[in-house]
Amino acid sequence: MTDRLRAAVVLGSGGARGYAHVGGLQVLDERGFEVVAIAGTSMGALVGGIAAAGKLAPYTDWALGLTQREVFRLLDLSISAPGGAFRAERIIARVGDLLEGAAIEDLPIRYTAVATDLLARREVWFQRGPVVHAIRASIAIPGVITPVVINGRTLVDGGLINPVPIEPTAAVSADVTIAIDLSGARTHTGQGAPVRETSEERPFEEWTSRIRRGTAEVLESERIRALAGRFTAGHRREAGTDGPHRAGHPPAGHAGTGHPGLAPAPAAESGVALPDIALAGHHADPGSSPSHAPDDWVVGRGEIRTIDLLAMSFETMSALISRYRMAGNPPDVLVRVPSNAVGTLDFHRAAEMIAMGRRLMTEALDRAGY
């Protein structure tokens, strides 16, 4: 009987697409791999920490039962929270319950969570201390989930610098390094080569048809429809029709993290404004002239909010960084999950992403001869 292959596993950032990590880890277990190290960023840090602690099965059962309504409750929306739209306290509390106070240095599998120190402009590797605190620091998507301060460091999502953190596994004695990248090429779209464009203003009909095609999949997603409904009350307040809470005067809210050792990052302002971003196929002002169409298209009342713009911008940057970093330090097996498989906050879609992770890991291992 041959010995089990020792695998170092790297789990990338990408919000709800990170459920694919669960499926990938399931396949590795079924094929007899011995996972000896896990390094993760953002959702990869969360799933990796859960797996390293031996709690992947109960976490998976919980995730599969989440509804869209429960996801928004767990994300803990707060207009007044400094540095992000969501505090994510309830999610972290649930993860903390599963981990039962586990410390990184006591885990049966070597584990590293990667975050970004904004002030020092460098990545931070958590290899000691409470697992839940390391996860909370790593998942703080800038502008979306509030940052935290640990030991004087203002920490946000590790994907800002290292979306697929292969480096922490370099010193591990393993037979194979397997990485799951959640910023793979978008399905049914081109990606990679620059687009050549003119700065000369073109006819309105020409460029609006292109934008409609390019944004169709975003506007039709469950995430956008849910957010539009969720913030309907916000639209009324901005119009001054909903009582005392009008634009510029959000209701007070508590911005703490709810966990010892974690503090909300300081902010210059008491709240985070969430202006509207319109990418719908109409003008904010029906009577506006086509010559002013670009401004009307971008700013006004639409279905996509600032958090969506931030998330998509962050994903675009992470995809480029991961390609460059892995070019110099490639894994033995690379699984690429399409970046538009699900939205960043679609945490109610665990079943389809776990299935995709299983399929893509199976295909990647077959190609590599494992």
Active site residues: 42, 157
Nearest alpha-carbon partner for 160 in 23, 266, 311, 352: 311
Task: Name the residue type at position 119.
Answer: L
Element (H, E) at 304: strand 304-305
What is the C-alpha separation between 163 and 181, in angstroms, rounded? 8
Chain centroid to CA 188 = 21
Residue 18's region, left for phi above 0, alpha for psi from -120 to 50, else beta, is alpha
Phi, psi at residue 292, to the nearest 5°? -110, 15
What is the C-alpha separation between 62 and 95, in angstroms, rounded? 10
Element (H, E) at 86: strand 84-86
What is the C-alpha separation between 198 and 202, in angstroms, rounded? 9
Q: Which residues contact 2 (CB under 8 A, 6 or more apart)?
A: none
First to last CA, the chain: 16
Residues forming a β-bridge with 184:
338
Tell me the two tokens of residue 213. Answer: 């095609």
Chain centroid to CA 73 = 17
Q: Hey, CA dihedral for 91, 93, 94, 99, is it positive or negative?
A: positive
Tell me the two tokens of residue 112. Answer: 């590293």
* DSSP letter string, 103-156: BGGG-SSEEEEEEEETTTTEEEEE-SSBHHHHHHHHT--TEEE--EEETTEEEE
> Is 272 in contact with 307 (CB distance < 8 Å)?
no
- State how beta strands 153-157 and 304-305 pair: unpaired
